[in-house]
Every structure is written in C-alpha cells, then in structure tokens.
Structure 1
Amino acid sequence: MNPTLILSHRYTEDSQRLWQAAIQLGWHVERLHSWHIPEHLQTINEPVIYVEALMAPIIAEFFGQSLIEPPKDWLPDLPEAYRQRTVQLTTLGTARDSLLPAFVKPPNDKSFTAQVYDAATLPTDYPDETPVLVAEPVVWEKEFRCFILDRQLRTSSIYLQHGELQRAEGFVSTVEEHSELQHFVGKLLNDPRVELPRASVLDVGVIKDRGWAVVEQNSPWGAGIYGCDPAEVLEVLRYTSIPSKPPE
C-alpha cells in the first residue's frame, strides 16, 4: 500500500510541490483543515507527516508515531572541523550573565528569533532554564539545505547568499558550489564521529575567511525545501518518525 502524505491546512509553495510530487509517485495525500483529525485517517498504513512544528507532535501522536529530532547538544558536540566556530549548549539565564554579544538560538525550535544578542536584548519572557545554543558570531557567505537519508545526500539547494533568500534567483547555484558542497557533506557523512538519525536535514554553508561549515541540523518533517527535488524530499520524509513506545 502506498504512503499517505499528511499536510496541514496551510497552502504553502513547499506543500504544493510535495503534493504534486506525491501524486506523481502514486501516493495518497490528505490535507488537514483543523487540529481535529478525521476518523477515516485512523486506518492509514504509512502516514508521512509534513506540517508546522506546533501541530507536528499532536498529529504524530494520533498516528502512534514519535517524531525524530536532533539532540539539543548535537551542534556543540560536532567536531570543530565541521563547525568552524565555538558553539555551546547552555541556558537563557546563563547566557544573560555571560559575555555577550553572541549568536543565540533555541536548539530545535523557533520559539524566539535566532540572532546576535547582548545581555539587554535577550528575550525576557522565557524561563531562565530555557535551553539555548550560544555561538560565536560569524558571517555566512552562502547557505545550503541538504536532505539526508541513510547518510547519503539525496537532494540539496542553496537558500541564502550573503543573507539574501535566493527565491527570486530560482535557488540556482554554480557547478563549482555544488561540487564543493558534495565534497564537504560527503566527508562529514563518512565520518563515524558524526552521529545522525536515519533521516535528517543538514544546513551547511561557507563562513567568511573560514570555509565550509555546518549551520545546524533540522528535522525534515517541517523543513522548507527551497529548490530541492520534492520527490527526493518525500523519500526522506518517510523515515522521520518511529512508532511510539506503548504505555507501560
């Protein structure tokens, strides 16, 4: 039985491209129109979830699935050769008391804007215990999104060039950039020190005066696809959740 792509009620460009690719592959597609999930979906054999972060855990739970997310300390624990900058996992309270400015972001969500903060501008409406990643500020010359399955690069796309979204340019990169990307990502994927789930999204790019580095790891089930091949993205999405453990 073919998979069923589960989409939210939001008609985004990404969801429409995935919908079209799924139909071409012979998949079923269900678009949810509210938080309520219709009863007829209870019999779905292989749900493939692609929705916003707020809805995703609830929808996954309905289907008896747990979404795969990167460990909060994945980026700080990554070998420095792939980071090219200092990154540490700490708390919002500790970051506020430390020597700033620094680039501060939530580890796995977008609860507040990821940017360079000083002590006076850090968000105050979150508990001091809130985990955050604190990184040395750097200048990214260009950034690429990579969908990974079984430690193989399935599809990739440039998305930022000197901080500018590349949508108007059609997310087009040069042959040289693509070759450099494949070399860097291939080296990382073949390094046994780098732990990855079966399916993941890696954002990588070029830091000014330093070279290629990992921006972050993301969960595929909510990641924008930019200029990536939607059929390849769908194959990665099939493995972004695992059966939930039965209650003890």
Structure 2
Amino acid sequence: MELLAVEAAGRGMSVRAAEERGLTGPAYWYGGPVAGARLAGQLGFALLEPTDGWLAELPQEFTGRQVRAGTLADAWSLNQPTFIKPPRDKSFPADVYTDDSRLSSALDPSTPVLLSDVVTFAAEYRLFLLDGQIATASRYAVFGRLDPRPLGTDSADRATATQITEFANRLVAAAGHTLPSAVVVDVGQVLDAYHPGHRWAVVEANMAWFSHAYAADPARVLDVVLRAAGPREHTRPQDLAFERH
C-alpha cells in the first residue's frame, strides 16, 4: 500500500485514508472490500472483480485439478481432504480441510466456497493483467511459503517468465472474456508424481484493488488498480458485468 501511495503521489494524485472525514469523489480505491463497498457510492468508484465461479468454470487444462463451486454446507459434508476457500473474501482461512471440525459452524451454510483437489504448487506467481496482457508480475511463494521475488531478473527467471507469458496468453485467448479488463491472476507450477516436470496452472483470480503487489513494479501495479477501481463513469462497457454491487 505504501509503495502504491508513493507512486500515486508522484503522479500528482492526492492519497487519503478511508477513515478521513470529508472525502469527496471522484476517487480511486485500493483497500478492503468491506470499506470499498461502503464508500463506492459516496466516492463514485466502481470495483471490478472476477465472478465467484470463475475458477470452477475454467477447463481443467488451466486449473491442473478438479475445482467446483459449492457452499459451506457442501464443505461440511466432505469425507476426504479438500482445499477449501472463499471465492473472494476472507470469511474463513483458505486451507486443506479433512472434515468439518475446523470449519466454523457460525457461518451461514449457504456461504459460497470453492472446493478443489489437493495439489502441490512448487512456486506461485502473481500476474497483474491489463487488457489481457501482463502489466507486471512477481513470484510470491515457494512450496506454500512466502518468498517474493521480481520476475525475470536472471536467465532462469527469464525462462520462467517466458513460460508464464505463454500460459497467460493461452488462458486469455480461451477465457479472457470472462475476466474484467484489470484483474489479478495467480498461477503456479504444479508438482505431479505421475507427470514428471512442472505444469502451469491457475491458482485463483483476485481483485486488483485488494491484492498485494509483492515484488511487482509498483508503477505498473497502480496502472491496473486505477482501471480496476476508478470513477464509475470511466468504466468500460465490457467491464460493467464485473462491477461489485
């Protein structure tokens, strides 16, 4: 957030905290969904986000595993280890659950969830996409542990960057129309004992205005955020279907 604030200030933009009094629009937003939804009408910005079922609707060639959309009630009835996460909010921790003992019974049974096969991601990368192109990217985890690193800083990284770009291009060609024009897509290398080598797969899609930049270029991240959470009158017609309400 601080890096984006510095970049925005360098562009002559006024950076204000959501808690400040007297805020007026038009404005752009970078922050949480609860405060964003509360201030969107007052400040006139539109929040673009992928649909809840986007990952589950992707062909398995892009997910590398079976993923389905369901509800918390479905999750409570599982009898095998399953990776379960909220589609977009943080109502409970995304994790592998073996039964319902760790899933909160205080939540509404109709709460939407994504349920997927358990896989191992050797490394995970965050892609900030703008108009179907990678604006900037960063590694953010290795074997599930936080390990940010700029992408393309040495020869091995450049080879990885080429593979990621090729995978992202195929994904956009097949499913780009099902995403807003400014969005974050996380991808990873799936380890599979039955298929030697690494396979690229989508981890998830996220709102650019609520995504950590990690080691990505702050200037390019800000470009994506400004499109994903800017004045409503600037929203492109193809993005209207992805506006958060």
Q: Please give the range of the TM-score, normalised by the shorter of the 2 chains.
A: 0.7 to 0.9
Q: Would you say 1:65 and 2:36 are equivalent positions?
A: no
Q: Would you say 1:164 and 2:145 are equivalent positions?
A: yes
For residues 17 and 188 of structure 2, the distance between their equivalents in structure 1, rounded to whole angstroms, comes to 35
Please state whether the residue corresponding to 1:60 is helix, strand or coil. Answer: helix
Q: Is the 8 A contact 1:91 1:130 kept in 2?
A: yes
Query: 1:169-203 CA distances to partner (integer Å, 9 max, x unpaired)?
Result: x4456222111111111221122575111110000
Q: Would you say 1:153 and 2:129 are equivalent positions?
A: no
Task: Report what 2:164 is aligned to.
Answer: 181
The alpha carbon displacement at 1:19 in A equals 1.6
Please state whether the residue corresponding to 2:79 is helix, strand or coil. Answer: coil
Which of 104, 127, 135 is residue 108 of structure 2 equivalent to? 127
Task: Report what 1:88 is aligned to.
Answer: 68
Please state whether the residue corresponding to 1:157 is helix, strand or coil. Answer: strand
Please state whether the residue corresponding to 2:15 is helix, strand or coil. Answer: strand
Q: Would you say 1:205 and 2:188 are equivalent positions?
A: yes
Q: Would you say 1:23 and 2:4 are equivalent positions?
A: no
Q: Quick one: percent identity of the two aligned structures?
A: 32
The aligned amino acid for 1:141 is A
Which of 96, 104, 110 is residue 84 of structure 2 equivalent to? 104
Task: Report what 1:118 is aligned to.
Answer: 98
For residues 58 and 12 of structure 2, the distance between their equivalents in structure 1, rounded to whole angstroms, comes to 36
Query: 1:56-105 CA distances to partner (integer Å, 9 max, x unpaired)?
Result: 21122221233122111100001111001011111111221133220001
Q: Would you say 1:144 and 2:125 are equivalent positions?
A: yes
Please give the root-mean-square deviation of Cα atoms over the aligned residues, in Å: 2.0
Query: 1:28-51 CA distances to partner (integer Å, 9 max, x unpaired)?
Result: 1322162xx533x32x44x22111
TM-score normalised by L of structure 1: 0.83
For residues 169 and 144 of structure 2, the distance between their equivalents in structure 1, rounded to whole angstroms, comes to 25
Deviating above 4 A after TM superposition, structure 1's stretches of 4 or more consecutive aligned residues are: 170-173
**Alignment: residue pair count:** 223
Closer, same or farther: CA 172–48 of 1 in aligned 2, 3 Å: same
TM-score normalised by L of structure 2: 0.84
For residues 73 and 57 of structure 1, the distance between their equivalents in structure 2, rounded to whole angstroms, comes to 20
The aligned amino acid for 1:98 is L
Q: Is the 8 A contact 1:78 1:194 kept in 2?
A: no
Higher relative helix content: 2
Please state whether the residue corresponding to 1:238 is helix, strand or coil. Answer: helix
Query: 1:136-158 CA distances to partner (integer Å, 9 max, x unpaired)?
Result: 00001000001111111100000
- Structure 1 unmatched ranges of 5 or more: 1-14
For residues 15 and 39 of structure 2, the distance between their equivalents in structure 1, rounded to whole angstroms, comes to 12
Closer, same or farther: CA 18–93 of 1 in aligned 2, 3 Å: same
- Structure 2 unmatched ranges of 5 or more: 193-197, 234-239, 241-245
